Amino acid sequence: MNRRRRHAALLASLALAGVVGLGACGAGGDATGTTPSVPTATAPGNDPADLASGEPVPSGPTSGWGPDLWNDDEGPGMMGGDGGSWAPGMMGSGMTGNWWLAGDGHPVRTLDQARERATAFADRLDLRVGEVMQFTLNFYAQLETTAGRQATEVLVNPADGAVQIEYGPAMMWNTDYGMHHGSRGHTTVSASQARDIAQQWLHDRDTTLTAGDPESFPGYYTLHTLQSGKITGMLSVDAATGQVWYHSWHGDFVGMDGHE
């Protein structure tokens, strides 16, 4: 197996096994009809008992993938770049920008501090920071284009300020800034259908959670999950297949800050 394939396989295995298992929850979407079916089987991190009981679901890493992830005995860096960097065009489009920003050693304790760190990352991609959220395990931020369109999602490590493209949907489904950059899948799921799919997914897991308004990212939608109108977490719906991916790595919701 050549180097590119080995790295792609490693990235996929980390996303699917080491962070949250997509499993049957992400494999049963039906892209052939006007309303894709909703998978009913569960996977690690998507246990309905966890969601219904309020117990924390299994979490993924809270820090960025370190530069060592991209180094092997063939030399530093994925695709021959600097160790730890991953441009949106990782398969050769020539686009620039890093997938991971090392921390500056200072703890991030507030939404303003998280926005500052996310901005340092966003500047590399000529993007700006939109919504910022604080959870017990990490900070989350949405990055937007200068035109105000949603671009991608990132995580900020509260321990040292490291920033990375969020694992899960942002890494695996985002067609502009993810692993499969440039692979323009056919969109079969509308925003309203994404909300219906998300709500059915939550219902099938015997929760009392409701799905919020979908936000459209390249290749997928992300929605808040709500309990009596208050945010509890989030999940994403693939725009091509209707697959659902619950963001199990955040912990409990603490607070949020909108646009500057």
CA 48 to chain centre: 20
Instruction: Determine how many CB atoms are found less than 10 A away from the CB of residue 124.
Output: 15
| Distance from C-alpha of 157 to C-alpha of 91, rounded to nearest angstrom | 27
CA distances 23 to 4, 13, 47, 92, Å, are 24, 12, 12, 29
> In the structure encoding, which two tokens stand for residue 154, read together?
């990132």
| Confidence (pTM) | 0.69
Closest CA to 178 of 191, 197, 165, 194: 165
Output the pLDDT for position 183.
66
Output the pLDDT for position 258.
75
Closest CA to 122 of 150, 94, 84: 150
Give the strand pairing for 253-257 and 139-144: unpaired
Output the pLDDT for position 182.
63
Q: Which residues pair with 154 in a beta bridge?
A: 141, 165
What three-state secondary structure class fits 112? helix
> In the structure encoding, which two tokens stand for residue 169, read together?
């949907």
Output the pLDDT for position 143.
97
> In the structure encoding, which two tokens stand for residue 18, read together?
């080491």
CA distances 41 to 44, 60, 198, 206, Å, are 11, 21, 14, 13
C-alpha atoms less than 13 angstroms from C-alpha of 241 in its C-beta half-sphere? 14
CA distances 216 to 38, 112, 238, 258, Å, are 19, 24, 10, 16
pLDDT per residue rounded down to tens, the chain (260 residues): 454 444 444 444 444 433 333 222 333 333 223 333 333 323 333 443 344 433 333 333 333 333 233 223 333 223 223 333 333 333 333 333 357 899 999 999 999 999 999 999 999 899 999 999 999 999 999 999 999 999 999 999 999 999 999 989 999 999 998 886 666 667 899 999 999 999 999 999 999 999 999 999 999 999 999 999 999 999 999 999 999 999 999 999 999 997 64
Output the pLDDT for position 179.
81
Closest CA to 233 of 244, 241, 224, 242: 224
Torsions phi, psi of 145, nearest 5? -75, 170
